[in-house]
Structure 1
Amino acid sequence: MIVALALGGIFLDAYDLTSLAYGITDIRAQFGLSPVAAGAVSASISVGAIFGAWLGGVLVDRLGRYRVFMADMLFFVVSALGCALAPNAAVLIAFRFLMGFGVGMDIPVAMAFLAEFSRLRGRGSKGSRTAAWSPAWYGATSGCYLVIMAVYFLLPAEHHGLLWRFTVGFGAVPALVILLVRNKYMNESPSWAADQGDLRRAAEILRESYGVHAVVADDAEDAPRRPERRGLRDFALLFRRRYRARTVQALVIGLAQTFGYNAVAYGLPLIIAGLLGQAALSTISASLVLNLVFAMSGGLLGIRLANRPGAWPTTTAGFAVQLAAMVALALIGEPTGTGWVLAAICALGAFMFAQAAGPGAHFMSFASLSYPTSIRGVGIGFNQGTLRVGSTLALFFFPVLSSGLGSDVFWVLAGAPVLGLVALLAERWEPVGYDADAGTGR
C-alpha cells in the first residue's frame, strides 16, 4: 500500500501536468492570450516544479519522506481548485506555479519511497518499482483524457470552453483520497530512520510494514541526531569523485527524455489538431489511444525489462527508436492522405512506446538508485529540478516553434534522443541491482 500511495503521488503529478494540455486552445480564446502568454501558462507549472524539486530534495533528506509527502498532497488539492476557479490568466499562472511546486516536491519523496520500500533484486525490486512510475504516469495521462471525454459528452456544446476547468478541478479528488488513507497505511522509510540514527524507529517500521521481527542490539548506539545544515553543500555532495559521472549522466539522460516527452506528449493535442487536421473529438480520442495503447503498454514492458536486461540497454534502445520516429515525422511533413495520417500517428505511437519502455521508465533509476539513502533525496531533487528547465523550455517554446516551423519542428526534437544516446554511450553505468548503501552491485 505504501508503494501504491507513492505511485498515487506520481499519478497526480502526471494528471496535473496533462490537465491543461488539451484546454490550452480554449484558455487562449477565453483570456485572449498571445502565443507567448499561452506558453507562459503552459510553462508556469514546470517553473514551480524546478524550485519544488530543489527544495523538496533537501527537505526529504532532512525532515523525512513521510512529512514531505503529506505536505505536497495539500499543494495538489489547493492548486487544483485554484486553477479550476481562476478568473484570469494571472491567477491561473499563479496556481499553476503552486501546483508545479507540489509536483516538484513530490517526485523526490515518491521515488525515495519506491526505492527504499523495495528489495534489491527479483520481483518487486528497486529497479522494477522505480520503473513502475512510468505506467503510473501514462495511466494518469490516459485517465485525464478519459475525464476530458466524459465531460465533453456531459457538457452542452456551447459550454465546451469550460472543459479545462472541470478537468483541472477533478485533480483534487485523488489527492483528497490519499490524504484520507495516509494514517492507516503510510509510514516513514526505515532506511531514512536508521540513517538518522533512530534505530528503534527503524525497527518499529520494519515490524509494522514488513512483519520483520527487528530488534535493536543492546550495544547499538540509538541516538537520533539532528540533520547537519549544509545549504548548497548538499548539492556539492553529488559532484564528489564517486558520484560525479553518475550525476552528470543521469542529468543529461533526464534532460534529453524530458525535452522530447514534454514537447510531444503535452503538444499532442496541438500536433493532432494542427498538423494532422483533426476535429475536437478526434483529437481527444487519438490522444487517449496514443497514451493508453502505446504509452501504457510501453511502461508495463519497461517494468519487465528493469531487472533484465537492465536500465542501460533498455534506455539506449528507447532513445534509438525515438530518434527514428522523429526523423519519420519530419520526413512525412504535413500528411495529405489517410495513409500518411495513419503513418504519422504510428510514428507518434512509436515515440511514446519507446519513451515509456526506455528513457521514460528508467531515467528515474539512474537518478534514484545511484545514491545512498543519506543523499538520495538531494540527488533526485537536483536531477528533477534541473531537468525541469528542459521541460519548461519545451512547454514554452513548442507552441511557438510549432506555429513557426510546422512539421519541421520534429527535426529540432530529434536532437533530444541524440543527446541521450551520447550520454549513455559515454559511460555504461548500470544502476539496477546496485546497492548504493553498501557500494556493491552487478
Structure 2
Amino acid sequence: MTISPTAATEFQRRVLFAGASGLFTDGYMLGSISPALPGAIATLGLGPTGAGAVAAAPFLGLLLGSLFGGPVIDRYGRRLPFVWDMWLFLLFAIGHAFVHGAADLIILRFLTGLLLGVDYVAGKVYVSECVANERRGALMSWLSVSWIAGYTAAFVAGSALRDIFGADEWRLIFASASIPVLVAIAFRKNLPETAPWLAHHGRFEAALAVGKRCFGAHWTPSVASSSPTLRSSGWKALIRPPQHRVTFGVVAFYSLHNVPYLLLNTFLPGVLAGVGVRNPFTAGILYDALIMAGALFGLKLIDVMGRRTLAIGSLCIQAALLFGVIAFAASPQITLILLALFGAVLASADSLTYAYPPECFPTALRALGIGVTVAVSRALATVATFIFPKLVTGYGMQWVIGGLGVILAVGAAVCAATLQETRDAHIT
C-alpha cells in the first residue's frame, strides 16, 4: 500500500487535534479554579489554609501522575493513556457536581491532577513522535495555544456561570469541564501506537506501518529510535553524563516558567485586587486574552528565535515586568498593563514547554524525562500555591510579586549556563 504525502499530513493533523483537544481540557480543568474558588471558599467556609489546599491539590496530583506515569508510558507505550485517560476525566468532571465538603473537593481535585499529570506526559510524547521534524516546533506550539485557550475559556465560562447562577454554583463551574472532555474523547478514538516507541521495542513491522501512515511512504526508523542501548537505563540515565546537563537545564526552565504562571493565574482575582485593580474579574478576562495573543505570537517565535534564546529572553523580560509592577504600584492602570504584558510574554514562551522537552530526551527516556520535568515543577507549584495566601497575608502582594521577579532573574542566569539549542533535533 502506498501512503501519499497528503494522507500523512492529514494523519498528523488528526494527531494534532487529538493532542490539542486534550490539552484544552487539561487547561480548562485547571483554569476553572480561578472563578470557582471564591464561591467554594464562601460556601465551604475555607480559610487561607483550606483555600491553599484546594488550589494545591491538583498540583500535587500532577506531580505524582507525571512522575510515576512517565516510566509506565516508556515501558508500555504512549497510546493506552493517551486514548483512554479522557474517560476518567469525564467521570471526575461530573463528580465535582456532587461535592459536599472541603475534603471531598480536595480529594477530587487531587485525583484530577493525578490524571492531568499522566495526560501531560502522554500528550506531549505522543504528538511529538507523530509529527514531522521540520514542522514540530510550530505544531507542538499549538498544544500550548490549546492549553491556554482551555484555561482562558474556563475563566470566561466560569465567570459567566457565576454571574448567571451565583457564586454558590461553583460546582457547576468545575463540572462544565465535561463538555471539552467529550470532544477530546472523539478525536483520540482508535489512534495507533507511535512509530518510535514500536521501533525501540523491536516491533519494526508495526513501526514501519505506523511511520508510513504518519510521515509518508519513504519513512524508516532512525538509528536512535531503534537502538536498545538506553532501554534499561531508567532513572539513573537522566543524571548521568552527558544527559545530566540537559536534564537539569530543561527542569530549571520548565519550573521557572510554570510556577509563577500557575501561581498568578490560580489566584488571579486576588492578585489583581491586591495591586489596586477595582474590577479583577473583568481585568482577568483582558489578562487571559493577552495571554492567548502571546501564545499565538509564540507559534512564530519558537522557530525564528530558537529554543534557547526564547527561553532565556522570556525569563529576563518577565522579571523586568514584575519589578515594574512594584515600581508603579501607585498606578492601577500601569500595573494592569504590566501584568497583562507579563502574561503575554510568558505565553509566547509557553510553546517551549511542549516542543523543547521531547527534543531533549531520547525515545527510551522521553516520557520519563518529561515526567520528571513536569513533576519537579509541580512539586514547587504545590508548595508555592499552598503558602501563597499566607505569604500575601503576612507580607503583602507587592513583596510577593517582587520575590517572584527575583526568582525569575536568577533563573535566567541559570538557564543561560545550562540550556542547549535543539531546533534541528530529530525525534524519528
Using the size of structure 2 for normalisation, the TM-score is 0.90
Give the 3-state SS of the residue equivalent to 2:304 in structure 1. coil
1:219-258 equivalences in 2 (<5 Å): 234-258=234-258
Worse-superposed segment, 10-19 or 145-154: 145-154
State the partner residue of 1:424: 415
The answer to whether 1:176 aligns with 2:179 is no
CA deviation profile, 1:185-243 (whole Å, cap 9, x unmatched) = x2221111111111111122234444536699xxxxxx9x9x97x6xx62211112121
Equivalent in the alignment of 1:376: 366
Asked whether the 8 Å contact 2:129–2:427 carries over to 1, the reply is no
1:36-55 alignment to 2 at 5 Å?
A: 36-55=49-68
Matches within 5 A, 1:284-433: 284-292=281-289, 294-333=290-329, 335=330, 340-358=331-349, 360-406=350-396, 407-433=398-424
The answer to whether the 8 Å contact 1:307/1:433 transfers is no
Deviation at 1:166, TM superposition (A): 1.4
Cα distance change of structure 1 residues 418 and 432 upon mapping to structure 2, 3 Å threshold = same
1:197 matched to 2:202: yes
Range 91-100 or range 71-80, more displaced:
71-80
Structure 2 contact 277–336 (Cα < 8 Å) conserved: no
Amino acid paired to 1:108: V
Q: 2:167 aligns with which of 125, 142, 160?
A: 160
Q: Is the 8 A contact 2:55 2:266 kept in 1?
A: no
Distance in 1 (CA, whole Å) between partners of 2:250 and 2:241 is 15
Contact 1:53-1:107 within 8 A present in 2 as well: yes
Secondary structure of the 2:360 match is coil
Residue type at the aligned position of 1:247: T
**Residues 257 and 416 in structure 1, CA contact (< 8 A), matched pair in contact too:** no
Compute the displacement of 1:39 (Å): 0.3
Residue 346 of structure 2 aligns with an amino acid whose one-letter code is Q
2:16 maps to a residue whose letter is: V
Matched, 1:77 2:90: yes
Question: Structure 1's 248 and 237: CA in aligned 2 closer, same or farther, altered over 3 A?
Answer: same
Cα separation, 1, equivalents of 2:113 and 2:72:
17
Structure 1 389/214 Cα, relative in aligned 2: closer, same or farther at 3 Å? closer
One-letter code aligned to 2:164: L
Q: Does 1:108 align with 2:121?
A: yes
For 1:240, the aligned partner's letter is R
Which residue is 1:22 aligned to?
35
Identity %: 24
Partners of 1:265 and 1:200 in 2: CA distance? 46
Over residues 320-340 of structure 1, what are the superposed CA-to-partner deviations in whole Å (9 max), with x where a residue is unaligned? 11011110112233x4xxxx1
Question: Partner amino acid for 2:296?
Answer: L
1:283 is matched by which residue type in structure 2? P
CA deviation map 1:341-398 (0-9, x unaligned) = 110111111111111112x221443322111112111110011011111111222122
Alignment of 1:112-151 (within 5 A): 112-121=125-134, 125-151=135-161
- Please tell me the residue identity of whatever aligns with 1:353: A
5+ long unaligned stretches in structure 2: 1-13
Determine helix, strand or coil for the equivalent of 2:18.
helix
Measured on the aligned residues, the alpha-carbon RMSD in Å equals 2.4
C-alpha deviations, 1:266-298, integer Å up to 9, x for none?
1211112343253xxx33222111112x21111
Are the aligned partners of 1:21 and 1:269 in contact in 2 as well (CA < 8 Å)?
yes
In the alignment, the residues of structure 2 paired with residue 23 and residue 153 of structure 1 have an alpha-carbon distance, to the nearest angstrom, of 11
Give the match's secondary structure for 1:433.
coil
Q: How many residues in Structure 1 have an aligned counterpart in Structure 2?
A: 410
Q: 1:192 to 1:215 in 2, by over 3 A?
A: closer
In structure 2, the residue corresponding to 1:327 is in which secondary structure? helix
AA at the equivalent of 1:212: A
Instruction: Find the residue that maps to 1:94 and give its secondary structure.
Output: helix
1:420 to 1:132, Cα distance in 2 relative to 1, 3 A: farther
Alignment partners' CA distance in 2, 1:212 and 1:287 = 48
* Contact 1:54 1:382 (C-alpha < 8 Å) held by counterparts: yes
Q: CA 1:215/1:308 → structure 2, altered by over 3 Å: closer, same or farther?
A: closer
Aligned twin of 1:276:
276
Amino acid across the alignment from 1:146? V
2:263 is aligned to: 263
Contiguous gaps of at least 5 residues in structure 1: 217-222, 438-442
Question: Residue 366 of structure 1: SS of its match in structure 2?
Answer: helix
Q: CA deviation at 1:66?
A: 0.9
Aligned to 1:9: 22
Q: Distance in 2 between matches of 1:248 and 1:412?
A: 23
Q: Deviations over 1:62-88 (max 9, x none)?
A: 111110113321231122122232100
Report the more deviating stretch, 428-437 or 320-329. Answer: 428-437
Please give the secondary structure, in 2, of the residue aligned with 1:276. coil
Deviation at 1:22, TM superposition (A): 2.2
Pair 1:177–1:247, CA change in 2 (3 A): same
Partner of 2:11: none
TM-score by length of 1: 0.87
Q: C-alpha separation between the residues in 2 aligned to 1:68 and 1:349?
A: 35
Indicate conservation of the 8 Å contact 1:204/1:214, yes or no. Answer: no
Rate the CA distance shift 1:66–1:347 in 2: closer, same or farther, 3 A.
same
Instruction: Please give the secondary structure, in 2, of the residue aligned with 1:435.
Output: coil
Does the CA contact (< 8 Å) of 1:36 and 1:396 recur in 2?
Answer: yes
Indicate the larger mover: 207-216 or 125-134.
207-216
1:59 aligns with 2:69: no
Matching residue of 1:219: none
Amino acid at match of 1:308: V
Which residue identity is paired with 2:418? E
